[in-house]
Amino acid sequence: MHYQAPAQLQAAILDWAGTVVDFGSFAPTRIFVEAFATFDIELSLDEARGPMGMGKWDHIRSLCDQPQIAARFEQRFARPPSDADVTAIYERFMPLQIANVGKHSALIPGALPAIAHMRQAGLKIGTTSGYPRQVMDHVVALAAVAGYQPDHVVAADDLPTGRPGPAQALANVIALTIGDVAACVKVDDTLPGILEGRSAGMWTVGLRFSGNFLGLDHPAFQALTPSELDRHRLRIDGLFAPVRPDYLADTIADLPAIIDRINARMARGETPGSH
């Protein structure tokens, strides 16, 4: 027996908020701000976006580890934030997130045609998310009404470990019976999500404008001038650079052309991470 690299993609593993739904990734960020506010801790939207892509408990822990936020907590409670405090904030976060996730559940323009293209190319559709299962079930149900039904869904708390590790992506590989991780492409708008795909041995595509790094809703994005878009592309490409995605695209609407390019490279024997 000998190893033979796959000749074409078999699956796309897609993120949710900022990738397929919720242009600008507002549902989680605004709720982090509200959850911290219930403890009289001020948190800006930009601060809330910082660790985006991680599981939500880990996201809150990361926020509490940031010196400026830890200082606010210590000023309010006369002690640094502990894991028990993180859990208390998370327990405030969860009902707020469940109650409000529907307000930011619209599919990103171009998502359905892009997914249809991938299915026509023979790809199965798996998904991962930083959302826990309680929230994920609401998001999945709303997406189904809008016409999006992936083949598999892995929530942040379905497994012992999550992003930036490979576990969620690999759970999709197993569930979808994919023969080789190199036949998968991971699509995400966050650094932990791209690292998830890279650590799983997959092709990776980072999305610049629909998610966390731009942080604008779709009308505000559409109002940007060409020069403003170019400036944001340069800035966001720099933010993605440390995790080395195979491709960068503006939104999921640009994904079909990238899928075709990856398939062409695979037909020549190329594998993920080869440049």
DSSP designation for 16? S
d(CA 177, CA 136): 22
DSSP designation for 106? P
Measured in residues, the chain has a length of 275
CA angle 33, 34, 40 (to 5 degrees): 90
Cβ–Cβ < 8 Å for 191, 49:
no
Cβ–Cβ < 8 Å for 130, 54:
yes
Q: Give the residue numbers marked as catalytic.
A: 15, 56
CB atoms within 10 A of CB 222: 9
Q: In angstroms, how far apart are the furthest CA atoms of the chain?
A: 64
d(CA 234, CA 245): 15
Residues ≥6 apart with Cβ < 8 Å to 237: 208, 248
β strands within 112-230, DSSP E: 124-128, 152-154, 184-188, 203-207
